[in-house]
Structure 1
């Protein structure tokens, strides 16, 4: 196979598949963030003797503190599962930018992530969505529509 030859590509995905791809990335990024935040805020690290040992240097205590915090948070399913979904969204995003129009993919996925973050806060933290936020969300959706319209 000639490495300089153009790659054969299959048929272009339909509009429904593009929409589903954008929605999946936005949902994975936006919905998971409030759940990760909640899990991180509710985490109380256990006491570690190495962090209070006077024989350990300041640098060693800081490095161990970060390491213990990362391991502690990632070992909790309340944080690890949303993080895994969030990273999965990033993989889907990189697949999308390899196929879709870059100037549409980035603003659409980031805008949808904002919308899903608002919904995730409502779901995870029972935050009330204010009237101004609803109006802002409508403007974001309108902006997405204008971006798509400008490319057609």
Structure 2
């Protein structure tokens, strides 16, 4: 049970903390021009994969998805899904706050409430 909880926390961390970095790393993609939609799509994919400030967070984000799938095989779904998703929002808010994208204290207060709610859910299942 503790292993599942730690796995879900790491999933939330990997999903959430990488979101602001993915947003930052994808800046400039809107400037890509091409003759056809297929060429534009191909150039956008190349832009995202060749840009380390996007590809590294993407790799970390996808490793969170791998951990999530492996954890879901044995974890209680009524606990796993809400915890991973709620904590991803919390870690997104914290990473955004530390990167200067979020300036509202209300967002951090809401994150605290989500942490309390997730903790109560874990406590109930234990």
TM over 0.5: yes
Question: Which structure's residues are more often helix, by fraction?
Answer: 2
Choose the corresponding residue for 1:96, options 51, 71, 78: 71
Structure 1 contact 45–69 (Cα < 8 Å) conserved: no
For normalisation by structure 1, the TM-score amounts to: 0.74
1:77 aligns with 2:52: yes
Q: Which residue is equivalent to 1:34?
A: 20
Stretches of structure 2 lacking an aligned partner (at least 5 in a row): none
Aligned residues: 126
For normalisation by structure 2, the TM-score amounts to: 0.88
Choose the corresponding residue for 1:140, options 104, 109, 114: 114
Query: How big is the alpha-carbon RMSD for the aligned residues of Structure 1 and Structure 2?
Result: 1.9
Stretches of structure 1 lacking an aligned partner (at least 5 in a row): 1-13, 53-60
Q: Distance in 2 between matches of 1:67 and 1:31?
A: 27
Runs of 4+ displaced beyond 6 Å: none
1:131 aligns with 2:105: yes
* Larger radius of gyration between Structure 1 and Structure 2: 1
What whole-Å deviation, never above 9, does each CA across 1:32-66 have from its counterpart, x for those lacking one? 1110100112447566xxx34xxxxxxxx011111
Q: Distance in 2 between matches of 1:30 and 1:142?
A: 17
What whole-Å deviation, never above 9, does each CA across 1:49-105 have from its counterpart, x for those lacking one? xx34xxxxxxxx011111111111211111000000000000000111111111101
